[in-house]
Amino acid sequence: QVQLVESGGGLVQPGGSLRLSCAVSGRTFSQDNMGWFRQAPGKEREFVAAISRNGEIRKYPDSVKGRFTIARDNAKSTVYLEMNSLKPEDTAVYYCAARWAGSLRTTYLTSSEYSYWGQGTQVTVSS
């Protein structure tokens, strides 16, 4: 049984930081590309970050580039999202996602390319 469990969300003031974690079980984590997506009320789910199997390739949209960092620990089957300089527009439910990747350096940037999803964790940026 595949499980992706996110944690670390919460309420933070603008300019603050949060670190999200996603623990994966039921899969060979080192063979998966991992991604983070978010969905705000009334909006479509959007890409936030992706990391290749070996962690060498990381992709971000312009909206979070320079503020968010994705990382993975294959020994712990966990992917992280470090979020700094948070803005109110970052408020959303954040989801991690996984899919098998044949290449060590491939990344996937759209939600339709991912096979497995976590339940989401709420991030609220407000003063």
CB atoms within 10 A of CB 71: 15
Mark residue 7 as left, alpha or beta (left: phi above 0; alpha: psi -120 to 50; beta: remaining): beta
pLDDT at 103: 85
Phi/psi at 9 (5° precision) = -70, 175
Confidence of residue 91 (pLDDT cuts 50, 70, 90): very high
Phi/psi at 89 (5° precision) = -70, -5
Which H or E element spans position 36?
strand 32-39
pLDDT at 39: 98
